[in-house]
A and B are shown apart, each in its own frame.
Chain A
Amino acid sequence: MQHFALTIIGRDRPGIVSQVTEILYQLGCNIADSSCSILGGQFSMILIISNPEINSKKDFGNAFAPLEEDNLSVFIRTLKPGGEQRPELAGELCMISVYGADQPGIVYRVAKELGDRKINITDLNTKLIGEASRPVYVMMIEAVLPEGTEVETVEEWMTELKQQLQVDISVRSLLAMEL
């Protein structure tokens, strides 16, 4: 079945989720995976959807027009076959906390270090906190370590970066138990 990624974003207010999902329900769409959150003042929704009757983006017609009229931005992406399937992510999970005085390049420098070493980021949150005069940047990363890479090793790589960026970084393994 053809799957689509639906992204919706707009000024947060009560009722966005119900408005969006009512349309999907009326269309007969399945919602597989989804994640929705507030970023700044914006409510952001990302959903993987499918419908046995809908094979191309144009089949949605103007079903989402009411959302646009309510100042929500709607974007649909057609997934390639199999694009809805989550890859098997083997390897140890770890959490990386990065925080310090706000400056350009924190996200990029940390992400580059990880990407260059084939560490897969599975979740990333950032937030600017504190006083406007002394803003503090906080970033939380959840990542999967490739085989042979230990948490201690990642910590060593981060130690160098910590000095260069003058931020605090800590790495720890994420307790995960299959029971």
Chain B
Amino acid sequence: MAVREVLIYPDERLKQVCKPIDQFDDSARELLQDLVDTMLAAGHSVGVAAPQIGAIRRAVVVDVSHSKLGKKQQNHGLLQMVNPEIIETEGKQVVREGCMSVPDYTGNVTRAERIVVQFLNEAGTLQVIRSEGFEAIAIQHELDHLDGFLFLDRVSSLKTDLFRRKQK
């Protein structure tokens, strides 16, 4: 159990593709606990991915139930996910995202509106959930970390893109 330091870009560990967790052993359980502790210690954070605390392994935690906007929507509370995989997506939504690993910058990112994600939970059991809204955004953002993607790689528009259309 430990609060770990959140790595900040350009730490190269944030740009690596994480390895699957093949053995659901004590080290995996410890990693999940560290992720939860780090997320709580960060106060406003709604999720942390393993590479953000220096572990190049496929694990994330998400909990939007304490965030101002997230708690108004349907959510699953604390989600601890090992080897998570999005198996279905539907719709699109634009959200302005920021990230603890990329301070002082936010950008408009297009994410799926609804997702179905499968993962091993903290008990090591395969779980499949349907998620939407804020929670779905958080899950997509954290899963991107596992493949070395930052939201900077996903920015879809600079401010208002209404005016970016082709001129007549």
Residues of chain A whose beta carbon lies under 8 Å from any beta carbon of chain B: 93, 123, 125, 127, 138, 140, 142, 174-179
Contacts and interface: CB of A to CB of B under 8 A. Distances in A.
Contact of B163 (A125, A174, A175): A125
22 contacts: A123-B159, A123-B160, A125-B160, A125-B163, A127-B163, A140-B160, A140-B162, A140-B163, A142-B160, A175-B93, A175-B95, A176-B106, A177-B67, A177-B96, A177-B97, A178-B44, A178-B98, A178-B99, A178-B100, A179-B98, A179-B99, A179-B141
B161 to A, nearest CB: 10
A176 B95 contact: yes
A170 B93 CA distance: 18
A176 B94 CA distance: 10
Interface of B: 44-47, 67, 69, 93-100, 106, 134, 137-138, 141-142, 151, 159-160, 162-163
Contacts of B160: 123, 125, 140, 142
Q: Is the interface of A mostly helix, strand, loop or mixed?
A: strand
B159 A93 contact: no
Contacts of A142: 159-160
Contacts of A123: 159-160
Contact of B96 (A127, A138, A174): A174
Contacts of A177: 46, 67, 69, 95-98, 134, 137-138, 141
| Of B106, B138, B151, most A-chain CB atoms within 10 Å | B106
Contacts of B163: 125, 127, 140
Contacts of A93: 96
B96 A175 contact: yes
